[in-house]
């Protein structure tokens, strides 16, 4: 169901002017009078969201920066969290084929050396370090 959000007229002007950019992110809006915006759809990745607060944030960013960064950042955060939660967890047993496929994907993925929370996804150990770990030195 579409939702009507009341804002200042200048905020409505800014949001209406950015409607195409916002639509590309999954936020479908249209002007609904001088001080109202009709929201037809929100990005599915955001789940249940408070539309009036989202539009107020976007209007504020449009006024300050000229672009709706918060929506893109929120979508990026949701995607990163989904990726993190869907990752291979410690203790999970992988087949040799799964391990090789994972390593090949990591080789071509930018910034694959850490998760979105900044934790490393791999570490490099030298021969001497390996010997030390196994009590050989």
Q: Cα separation of 125 and 71, whole Å?
A: 40
Please measure the distance between the N-terminal and C-terminal CA atoms of the chain and give it in whole angstroms: 68
Residue 128 has pLDDT above 80, yes or no: yes
What pLDDT was estimated at residue 8?
93
pLDDT tens by residue, 59-116: 887 887 776 666 777 767 666 665 665 567 667 788 999 889 988 988 898 888 887 7
Is the CB of residue 2 less than 8 Å from the CB of residue 40?
A: yes
Domains annotated on the chain, with CATH: 3-82 (3.30.1370.100), 87-133 (no CATH)
| Between 62 and 4, the higher pLDDT residue | 4
* Amino acid 83: pLDDT: 63
Distance between CA atoms of 79 and 72, rounded to whole angstroms?
10
């Amino acid at each position: 169901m579409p939702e009507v959000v009341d804002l200042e007229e200048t905020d409505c002007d800014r949001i209406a002017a950015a409607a195409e950019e916002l639509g590309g992110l999954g936020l479908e809006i249209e002007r609904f009078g001088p001080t109202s915006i009709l929201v037809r759809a929100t990005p599915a990745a955001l789940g249940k969201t408070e539309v009036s607060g989202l539009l107020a944030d976007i209007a504020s960013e449009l006024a300050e920066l000229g672009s709706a960064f918060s929506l893109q950042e929120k979508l990026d955060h949701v995607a990163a969290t989904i990726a993190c939660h869907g990752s291979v967890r410690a203790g999970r047993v992988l087949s040799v084929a799964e391990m090789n496929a994972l390593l090949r994907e990591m080789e071509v993925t930018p910034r694959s050396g850490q998760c979105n929370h900044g934790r490393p996804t791999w570490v490099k150990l030298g021969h001497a370090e390996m010997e030390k770990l196994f009590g050989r030195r």
